[in-house]
Each structure stands twice: as structure tokens, then as C-alpha cells.
Amino acid sequence: MTRKGNYSLNQTAKNAGVKNFDKFHNSGYKGLYNGETADDIAKRKGLRYREDILDNMGSEELAANLFRITQTESRLKRDKVDTEKKACDTHNKIGKIVRRAIKEAGRNNARRFTHT
């Protein structure tokens, strides 16, 4: 489900002018994970090089990421985002919104989304 979501998000991001997809995806991770990039998350989880972080998440963490992905795609379309910078900013903002929602729902759940 997450791979399909990311594929769809990538298509929408491409239409919004994104060319640097690593930067775009890291913008979303940084929002959700309190500044951590995909590499930071992989290192924290002790993953090997090129091991997919999404394949190494529990159900709550995976659901949070899927929510981030779907909501970012929706916002990019709805707001007719047309530059890479705006797309990255949008992805980061949505990540932060999801992180705040997780904190509000239950403080214990939020810990896995922060590096502090």
C-alpha cells in the first residue's frame, strides 16, 4: 500500500515541478521525524545500506507514513503546487501536522517519530 502511495505521490510531485525526489521525500520525513532524513532514520533503526525503511516499520509508524503520503498528494493537487520548493515545503508541513496529531493522540506513540 505504501509503495503504491509513494508512486502516486511521486507522479503528483513530478507534475508539481519536483526533480530532486530525495530532497522532496526527505522534506516529508523531516517533518514527521523531527528533522531526521531517510538516512538518519535508517541509521537509527540499524538498517543496512539500501534497506528500505518503510519495510522496517510497525503498523502505527507505517500508517503515519501512509497518512503523510496521501495527505501530501492531496494538498499538492488541491493547492495546485507548481514548484519544487513549494512541494518540499508542503511535504514538510504535512509531516509536522501528522507528528502533532500523533502526539495529541498519545504521547507514547510520538516517541518513535522523534530522535530526541
Q: Cell triple for residue 83? A: 514548484
Burial letters for 50-72: b for 16+ Cβ neighbours within 10 Å, e otherwise? eeebbeebeeebeebbbbbbbbb
Residue by residue, DSSP assigns the chain as: -HHHHHHHHHHHHHHTT---HHHHHHHHHHHHTTT--HHHHHHHHTPPTT--GGGG--HHHHHHHHHHHHHHHHHHHHTT--SHHHHHHHHHHHHHHHHHHHHHH-HHHHGGG---
Determine the pLDDT at residue 110.
53
pLDDT in tens, 22-80: 999 999 999 999 999 999 999 999 999 888 898 899 999 999 999 999 999 999 999 99
* Distance in angstroms (rounded) separating the CA atoms of residues 64 and 97: 11
pLDDT of the residue at 114: 52
Is the pLDDT at 106 greater than 90? The verdict is no
Amino acid at 47: L
This prediction has a pTM of 0.88
What's residue 49's pLDDT? 84
DSSP letter string, 54-73: GGG--HHHHHHHHHHHHHHH
